[in-house]
Structure 1
Amino acid sequence: MYPKVSTSPPPSSPTFGRSSNSSPLPEPAVHRSHANSAVWQRTSKSAVKKCSNFVHRLFHLNQMDFEFAFWQMIYLFLSPSKVYRNVVYRKQTKNQYSRDDPAFLVLLGVWFVISSTGLSIVLRLPFISFIKFLFWVVFIDCIAVGCIVATLFWFIANKYLRKPDSINSEDVEWGFAFDVHLNAFFPPLLILHVFQLFFFNVLINHDWFIARLFGNTLWAIAVIYYLYITFLGYSSLPHLHRTQTLLYPLIPLLFFYIVTLISGINICRAILDFYNYRVY
């Protein structure tokens, strides 16, 4: 068992008293007295070893830095760029860009349960259907689809976005690509699976134009959040360039958004009808 190191932010605020180039988040928990030697020890870790350590820490809550993960979730909404300001710091201290602390994943799991419970109430799902729905959202929507999307961005980044003078340097870690996906997935989860619920029966679930406009706009905002946070994630890596190309899908998104409004497609209602269908 390892001692839990306090990571409370300074009394003033997590954003005050720091330079513009430093992370506004509370500093992650590390054994600072052994930091220098630990850096060199971590350089020899393989990807398998890192994954093994990550899974091992999933079963030791007292080793997780929940405060740091909580602040990350807040900043993903308020100022997503600040979340990635500690990426280089993590590489310098732990020899990896991806997370080695599963606290964010655990908190994300809590939000999955909360949002799935709310959706089950709105859709009036029985308990068995709630379990099926939770399974679909976690293992299909987030993990399975996330692995596909993360692999796609990982391939694009390594193949097309590396700087010319970085050909023989480090690759983008797949674990970092999946981390970026989890970061980008969180705001859409709360927008579409929590915030939307308060308006579904009273507004969205109607044939009015305003209902369609409101629901489709929520989906557009969620997708914009996902693409923007993904762009910020890859832009934080010093050996990548031209990462603005990751924002190009916003152009067809705008076109699709206009088409759905004109053609009478209510995306929110269609998706929730699909959720209903696949859990029965």
Structure 2
Amino acid sequence: MDIPSYSGGQVRSPAPISQRLPLIFRRLHRFNQMDFEQAVWQLGYLCLAPRRVYRNVYFHKQTKNTWARDDPAILVLIGACLFVSGIAWSFAYKYSVRQALELTALMIVRDYLLTGIVVASLLWVVSNRILVAPPSHSSPADSAVEWAYAFDVHTNAFFPFFLTLYIAQLFILPVVLKDNWVCLFLGNTLYLAGFAQYIYGVYLGLNALPFLIRSELFLSPLLPLFTAYIISLLGFNVAKHVLAVYFGF
């Protein structure tokens, strides 16, 4: 429970919840102010040259005093992509209209937003407690990873992951579900690529902050991921098991 602060002889009430939300969420209803052209450019480079997306992050901090983006256009575009993906997967599994809407809601709310909140919170805590460099003349004392920036990192890492496992997998669905080793290899490699892209994207986002040290820590999940991939090639079809759980078959 929030406790009102005391300042200057007056009790100051806490800010309303809406004001404590990251700016990018508070602006979701302002479609006429969103720069969709810039958002499309960013989504393209997140796949082709993700480092370019982070080149201007320091300039953004200097001009707007925040590391996080304040334009929610990219959230709207990813939500739209997930909606279309949910409809396409519903056709593949012959879902009813109601089931299709439920699936799209799950993809947007659970797969992207709720997962992003959890991941961003973990990145925020780990980065600020372990990886922030001691204050110096080159690292301002107020340097800290913003939660909203950590959510940006998740957003940027999620899009290549989405293209690999929500789009590419859909197009080769009949192949990855077949019972032979070549198809198993193809499907498992697709999952390896998707999760490796996400992990690398998280690393790039936090490595872009000049006051973080040992950001290579975020690449450490690649080792167990690759180990699990090698073991899975002995006969465990990842796609078949994941889709059976995801779609309830």
TM-score (norm 1): 0.78
- Alpha-carbon contact 2:196-2:222 (below 8 Å) kept: yes
**1:79–1:168 distance in 2 versus 1, CA, 3 Å:** same
Percent identity, aligned pairs only, is 39
**1:52–1:176 distance in 2 versus 1, CA, 3 Å:** closer
**1:157–1:257 distance in 2 versus 1, CA, 3 Å:** same
Is residue 243 from structure 1 mapped to residue 215 from structure 2 by the alignment? Answer: yes
- Alpha-carbon contact 1:215-1:268 (below 8 Å) kept: yes
In structure 2, runs of 5+ residues without a counterpart are 1-16
Paired amino acid for 1:89: F
Question: What pairs up with 1:23-62 in 2 under 5 angstroms?
Answer: 49=19, 51=21, 53-62=23-32
Deviation at 1:190, TM superposition (A): 1.3
In structure 1, runs of 5+ residues without a counterpart are 1-46
Q: Cα deviation per residue 1:93-117 (whole Å; 9 max; x = unaligned)?
A: 1111111100000100110011111
Is residue 156 from structure 1 mapped to residue 105 from structure 2 by the alignment? Answer: no
**1:62–1:135 distance in 2 versus 1, CA, 3 Å:** same
Name which of structure 1's ranges 250-259 and 56-65 shifts more when overlaid on structure 2. 56-65
Is residue 218 from structure 1 mapped to residue 190 from structure 2 by the alignment? Answer: yes
- Alpha-carbon contact 2:165-2:191 (below 8 Å) kept: yes
Deviation at 1:50, TM superposition (A): 7.5
Deviation at 1:238, TM superposition (A): 1.0
> 1:99 & 1:151 partners in 2: Cα distance?
17
Question: What pairs up with 1:221-232 in 2 under 5 angstroms?
Answer: 221-232=193-204
- Alpha-carbon contact 1:187-1:226 (below 8 Å) kept: yes
State the partner residue of 2:102.
132
> 1:64 & 1:132 partners in 2: Cα distance?
27
State the partner residue of 1:205.
177
> 1:277 & 1:116 partners in 2: Cα distance?
15
Identify the match of residue 257 of structure 1 among 213, 229, 238.
229
Instruction: Report runs of 4+ in structure 1 exceeding 3 Å deviation.
Output: 47-56
Is residue 277 from structure 1 mapped to residue 248 from structure 2 by the alignment? Answer: yes
State the partner residue of 1:175.
148
> 1:89 & 1:48 partners in 2: Cα distance?
27
Is residue 193 from structure 1 mapped to residue 166 from structure 2 by the alignment? Answer: yes
TM-score (norm 2): 0.87
Question: What pairs up with 1:75-94 in 2 under 5 angstroms?
Answer: 75-94=45-64
- RMSD (CA atoms): 2.0
- Alpha-carbon contact 1:188-1:222 (below 8 Å) kept: yes
> 1:50 & 1:251 partners in 2: Cα distance?
38
**1:189–1:52 distance in 2 versus 1, CA, 3 Å:** closer
Deviation at 1:164, TM superposition (A): 2.1
Aligned residues: 231
Paired amino acid for 1:270: H
- Alpha-carbon contact 1:150-1:178 (below 8 Å) kept: yes
Deviation at 1:132, TM superposition (A): 1.6
Partner-residue secondary structure (3-state), 2:236? coil
Deviation at 1:48, TM superposition (A): 6.5
**1:152–1:55 distance in 2 versus 1, CA, 3 Å:** closer
> 1:153 & 1:235 partners in 2: Cα distance?
12
> 2:229 & 2:178 partners in 1: Cα distance?
18
Paired amino acid for 2:144: D
- Alpha-carbon contact 1:87-1:236 (below 8 Å) kept: yes
Question: What pairs up with 1:13-24 in 2 under 5 angstroms?
Answer: none
